[in-house]
Homo-oligomer: A and B are copies of this chain.
Amino acid sequence: MTIDAALTELSALLGDRLSRSKSDLEAHGASEAHFAPAPPDAVAYPESTDEVAQVLRICHAQGCPVIAYGAGTSLEGHTGAVAGGLSLDLSRMNKLLALRQSDMQAVVQPGLTREVLNRELRATGLFFSVDPGANASLGGMAATRASGTTAVRYGTMRDNIRALEVVLAGGRVIRTGSGARKSAAGYDLTGLFLGSEGTLGIITELTVQLHGQPEAISAAVCGFERMADAVDAVVAVIQIGIPVARIEFVDAETVRAVNAYSGTDLPLRPHLFVEFHGSDSSVAEDAARFGEVVADFGAADIGTATRPEDRTALWTARHHAYWACLGLRPGATAIVTDICVPISRLAEAVEETRADIAASPIPGPILGHVGDGNFHAILLVERGNESELAEAGRLAGRMAERALRLGGTITGEHGIGIGKLAHMAAEHGAAWEVMGEIKHALDPANILNPGKLVPGP
């Protein structure tokens, strides 16, 4: 019962779709983040659910770890083969299997990326709303319960996945959920697999909920004197119930980066970027009400954009903020933190984080999906500078502790991977053990992404 024995069997099954090439192993063991490389022993490229089931049967029998791999855009080291084994690359299972126009649903394979899906949907009047920034695979987004800029209006992956096909550790194939919009028929297994990060099963098919492309879109941007004013303005907007489609905060440092990167000339102060979806009249009304609310918090320089090209320029600048921030310190590597707090504690959380970073030697612009109480600091660490890396780790750790102290969560959307594992006991207490018990029930041999998410056996 060894990894080698598994690979021999897998090679017979998959032929040249089992790769042991150095470049493949390195690519699948690397991460977009700062984690040490953890290459697998081999990479498999299955092309069907049946093949995934056969792979899992072999690996289960041989005790060979299996790590699902989508587009590799994780920021928390989800895909590293920390115990060796097989990287299961699902990028060849990337078909749009069915479009159910009347139900506003699509059935997709896990390797399909969200940008490709939305391209395919362009002529249908529908779109897939969840937008984490990166062109992630839909399977990966489901496995990490991803969200992003539009979650405040359209929800996270938890709200936009209706059904799954999942292969369990021993090779059993199950279906969860249905095409119905709701159900009270037993445990919500769909919800259990969303966010399970490949530790409970391999997602091989997803039924995703789509939304109608809005008839009209308008966008606005406005600046604030103080960060707390911007954040408090967001809280007021949410409480009053203005149906913002996106509402994004960027601090003054992010604005500086964005101006340099995207050629905008926003004043160097905290800003909100906001977008409204609806009819011509409703977006105009929403924008007007938004303007009134933020004016109470001292908003200045309120710029609106209803022409598509202006809107696109505005949101492209926001979407490129990560790259813009990297440009603040050429050659730096970014540690992107991710916490989420109750919105009543958001201003406090952002201010404390700002002060903590200001007292450190590391630049760390802050931005986030503040309508959900979720924000990130992009900690810019000199590449190879171990002392800065350690300092960034301490800043990130204090952010996680802060989130818990304020009644929130250590991750709003990036997930646990190996980056947040040390904080799971603090967030969940005895409930973390329960996660381990569920994991053990479904994967007793612990072959699915071992070393991640649950307590060690």
What is the interface of chain A, defined by CB distance below 8 A to chain B? 100, 102-105, 144-147, 151, 156, 158-159, 168, 172-176, 178-189, 191-192, 194-196, 200, 211-212, 214, 235, 239-241, 279, 281-282, 285, 289, 338, 340-344, 372-374, 403, 407-416, 420, 424, 427-432, 434-435, 437-438, 440-442, 453-454
A344–B103 CA distance with the chains assembled, in angstroms: 6
Complex contact A212–B183 (CB within 8 A): no
Complex contact B343–A102 (CB within 8 A): yes
Complex contact B438–A438 (CB within 8 A): yes
Question: Can you offer 22 A-B residue contacts whose CB atoms are under 8 A?
Answer: A103-B344, A104-B239, A173-B430, A174-B430, A176-B431, A178-B408, A180-B340, A180-B342, A181-B374, A182-B340, A184-B411, A184-B413, A185-B409, A185-B416, A185-B420, A186-B435, A186-B453, A188-B191, A188-B192, A282-B285, A434-B442, A438-B438
- The interface residues of chain B lying within 8 Å CB-to-CB of A438 are 187, 192, 438, 441-442
A68 to chain B, nearest CB (A): 16
Complex contact A342–B239 (CB within 8 A): no
- The interface residues of chain B lying within 8 Å CB-to-CB of A192 are 187-188, 191-192, 438
Complex contact B178–A187 (CB within 8 A): no
Complex contact A174–B434 (CB within 8 A): yes
Complex contact B434–A168 (CB within 8 A): yes
Complex contact B435–A340 (CB within 8 A): no
Query: In the complex where A104-B239, A441-B437, A441-B438 touch, is A182 in contact with B344 (Cβ < 8 A)?
Result: no
A415–B159 CA distance with the chains assembled, in angstroms: 20
- The interface residues of chain B lying within 8 Å CB-to-CB of A100 are 342, 344
Q: Which residue of B lies closest to A214 (CB)?
A: B241
- The interface residues of chain B lying within 8 Å CB-to-CB of A188 are 145, 158, 188, 191-192, 194-195
- The interface residues of chain B lying within 8 Å CB-to-CB of A187 are 192, 195-196, 200, 435, 438, 453
Complex contact A424–B343 (CB within 8 A): no
- Central interface residue in A214, A289, A407, A420, by most chain B CB within 10 Å: A407
